[in-house]
Chain A
Amino acid sequence: MTTTPSLRDLQHELETLFSIGGETDHADRLADAAGRLPIGGDDRLAPADRLGIYTGMIFVRIRDAIAEDFPATRTALGDDAWEDLIARYLRAHPTDHPDLRLAPRHLPGFLRATGPGPLAELAELEWALMESFTAADSTVLRATTLADLAPDAWPEMLVRATPSLRLLTPRSDVDRNRRRLLDGEEVELRPTSPYALRVWRRDLRVFHKRIDPLEHGALQLLRSGVTFADLCAWLADHDESDPSEVAVRLLQAWLADELLVAP
């Protein structure tokens, strides 16, 4: 015997029910809901079958959408483990944003808390690539602009990194592992010595590159912007070489990679 719930109560019941994709007591819960809710059925499909169409479809859509942004993580896990991961992830972090693209934004942290480190790092890299891909646009600082700068303007010149910059400090060969996984190679994910990676967008394409600890530290400063004088001072504190020389070397590399934003 079903009663007629309010629209709000109906939606709350269905929201709970439609979130159970990937759970083992799926069929029992569908049958129970079909007995309580005013869902129509016919000879072809009983009410529980009709509810089940949505339950399956919703889980598969979200699972597959997340897989698009984590192709290597998914490949590393394989189909069954990926499905299990996403079911567990969605129970811990139900999708709460209108943009499906943002559904997996907690996935790297979830993996970091619950899974092996190298796998979490793979997911962190793939999410950084996605974030960089859609980060705010900016006007690139060109070498010609610096060439025109008066010598006395250099110390106060603001050096700022593109909003698409992401910095990672993995402890596994995450960049190479990702490439191998995408190329279809068998990969054993295991820890290695720590290093630093920068991820950034150039000409609408996203790149990543290994960097040394000095550049990593400098780029952390550049994310919020720093004057050239303060950058040189920081380099003097962290490197024994001539800070101006190091700053110029780094600047040249960053300009070539279109990593800096015009003031």
Chain B
Amino acid sequence: MQTSGNLEIGIGLRSAHFGELLERPARVGWFEAVSENFMMDGGRPLHVLEHVRRDTPVVFHGVSMSIGGTDPLDDGHLSALADLASRFEPAWISDHLCWTGARRHNLHDLLPLPWTEEVLEHVAERVARVQDRLARHLVLENVSSYLTYEHSTLGEAEFLAALAHRADCHILLDVNNVYVSAYNHGFDARAYIDAMPRDRVVQIHLAGHTDMGTHLLDTHDTFVCPDVWDLYRYTLDRLGRVPTLIEWDGNVPPLTTLEEEADRARTIWKNVFGESGAGGIGDDHTFAA
């Protein structure tokens, strides 16, 4: 099994494609598996993950760590994650910079935090504990948001960069989420990208969203829009060869459609860095687990 690699473009491992993936390898460089979807005792999902992992690098992406929550960290969840990591040796493990519930209730949504020094300290301390438990860097993703808190004293990008530095964690930069939140809150998406520490960003997400008229909703159920492709190109220019993943979670299309969307990302990647992939300005993002 591969444990790391010079990853370029990947897609999410989704149950809609399980049958096809058992028949043929996907035309992508790597897969991202939602950790919680594989925290089970056995059955087809784990069988498929094992099958694709034989030949293809995998990363784990969680949705329930609640790193910004005020409930105690869920030790059972961390143990399950550690067990999964031990079995499948992902190139890295990511989750979201958010909170997902309180009083032991899980809302199953990625809820925004106030961007304050107090919250930064709180999250950095929890990240350190998770990293100790998993014995690896944690990768945290910026979420799409629809509200802000009046008492925030930092910008989101400033908070994320400071957290990466203070907690010694890595960043999953969701370019679509930057675009969605920039629209919803009226900030400059390119300034957000500029504020990202390039030595900390290890992965990019690209996804589709829905225009609701008053706001953009991060739906992951359609193609990446032209503006987000432009922002992606800008991001590669600024941050270098960051492994990129196409996310598609709702109304999941055939595998070939996702492969074609990955091809679009690969074309931009090659335009930025050259056909060989060696002509770019960025670092070679190769990460050991």
Contacts and interface: CB of A to CB of B under 8 A. Distances in A.
Given A38-B151, A39-B147, A50-B147, A98 B106 contact: yes
Given A8-B70, A95-B106, A98-B36, A54 B41 contact: no
Contacts, number: 125
Interface stretch (A72-80, A128-136, A149-157): A128-136
A241 interface: no
B150 A96 contact: no
Contacts of A53: 146-147, 215, 217
Contacts of A49: 214
A18 interface: yes
Contact of B214 (A8, A44, A58, A205): A44
Contacts of B69: 11
Interface stretch (B6-14, B107-115, B164-172, B197-205): B107-115
A201 B43 contact: yes
Contact of A7 (B74, B119, B147, B148): B119
Interface in A214-236: none
A2 B151 CA distance: 10
B106 A54 contact: no
Given A12-B102, A45-B214, A98-B64, A136 B39 contact: no
A15 B64 contact: no
Contacts of A62: 108
Interface size class of A (residues with CB under 8 A): 35 or more
B147 to A, nearest CB: 4
Given A11-B69, A61-B109, A96 B42 contact: no
A39 B150 contact: yes
Given A14-B102, A53-B146, A99-B64, 16 more contacts: A10-B149, A14-B111, A19-B107, A38-B114, A39-B147, A45-B214, A53-B217, A57-B109, A95-B106, A96-B105, A96-B106, A98-B64, A98-B74, A134-B41, A134-B43, A136-B42
